[in-house]
Amino acid sequence: EVQLVESGGGLVKPGGSLRLSCAASGFTFSNAWMSWVRQVPGKGLEWVGRIKSKTDGGTTDYAAPVTGRFTISRDDSKTTLYLQMNSLKTEDTAVYYCTTDLGGHLDSWGQGTLVTVSS
Amino acid sequence: DIQMTQSPSSLSASVGDRVTITCQASQDISNYLNWYQQKPGKAPKLLIYDASNLETGVPSRFSGSGSGTDFIFTISSLQPEDIATYYCQQYDNLPYTFGQGTKLQI
């Protein structure tokens, strides 16, 4: 059974940093593309970015609002996905989900972790 | 970015009703469209991929159709457990983009 468990969310001040983790199990993590999706409470879904598997180049892509501030990485030895968030803004407040990404099909999701950016 | 427009934004229906949600893309996305269900307090769940393919384990009362710019999601006979918000999502181009969601109520 695929399991994705996010952690690392919390309260941070504007301009601050936070690193989210997503522990994966139940599938061959090293072969998987992974994405992060966020959701402002009570609002819709917004794709944040993705990382390809190392065999597919390990490259990353980001949505415009986070480009230059967020970095997605992976540690295949720990089957863990990361989202490093710097220069946080109040508009980054959201629940952050990690997902498996089958070339656009976001087919397994974690439970999400809440990030609140507030002074 | 490709804009995805869903309608209606909310919908009230009765158990047993046939429910239809539409999703329109701002440009041709072929069949690169998925549908998700999100129940309150839960993560989204993939129901339909490539516009019309049912994800494994998803009840057959759910279906999808369309290609190009216009897509339809249907629940053939609404069940109480189908109360949720439904989202379409395109993956023809990055960034992936979602519709604004359709909140389904009974």
Q: How many CB atoms lie within 10 A of CB B83?
A: 15
In this prediction, residue B57 carries a pLDDT of 95
pLDDT of residue A104: 93
User: What does the alpha-carbon distance between residue B74 and residue B52 come to, in Å, rounded to a whole number?
Assistant: 10
CB–CB contact B43 A107 (8 Å): no
**Tens digits of residue pLDDT in B47-62:** 999 999 999 999 999 9
Q: Does A113 contact B at CB distance below 8 Å?
A: no
pLDDT higher than 90, residue A63: yes
Per residue in B25-40, pLDDT (tens digit) is 999 999 999 999 999 9
Mean pLDDT value across residues B66-81: 97
In tens, the pLDDT along A74-105 reads: 999 999 999 999 999 999 999 999 999 999 99
Q: Which of B32, B43, B87 sits opposite A44 (nearest CB)?
A: B87
Contact (Cβ atoms closer than 8 angstroms) between residue B88 and residue B23: yes
Check pLDDT > 90 for residue A117: yes
The Cα of B39 is separated from the nearest Cα of chain A by a number of Å equal to 12
pLDDT at B29: 97
Place of tokens 């998700």: B36
Percentage of chain B modeled with pLDDT above 90: 99
Q: Which residues contact A59 (CB under 8 A, 6 or more apart)?
A: A51, A52
Provide the 10 A C-beta neighbour count for residue B85. 20
Per-chain mean pLDDT for chain A: 97
- Determine the pLDDT at residue B62: 98
Record the tokens describing residue A102, joined without a space.
Answer: 């089958």
According to the model, what pLDDT value does residue A21 have?
Answer: 98
Q: Does A106 touch chain B (CB under 8 A)?
A: yes
Contacts of B56 in chain A (CB under 8 A): none
Contact at 8 Å (CB) between B14 and B104?
Answer: no
B12 burial type by CB count under 10 A (0-12 exposed, 13-18 middle, 19+ buried): exposed
Q: Give the distance from residue A76's alpha carbon to the nearest chain B alpha carbon, in angstroms.
A: 24
Q: What is the mean pLDDT of residues A42-51?
A: 97
Q: Which residues in B have their CB inside 8 Å of a CB on A?
A: 1, 32, 34, 36, 38, 42-46, 49-50, 55, 87, 89, 91, 94-101
Q: Residue B25: which H helix or E strand, with range? A: strand B19-25
Instruction: Say what the pLDDT of residue B22 is.
Output: 98
Which chain B residue is nearest to residue A97, measuring alpha carbons? B43
CA distance B37 to chain A (A): 12
Percent above pLDDT 90 for chain A = 99
pLDDT at position B106 is 85
Residues A71 and A19: their CA atoms lie apart, in Å, by 9
Tell me the average pLDDT across A36-48.
97
Residue B99 is predicted with a pLDDT of 98
User: Smallest CA–CA separation between A81 and chain B, in Å?
Assistant: 18
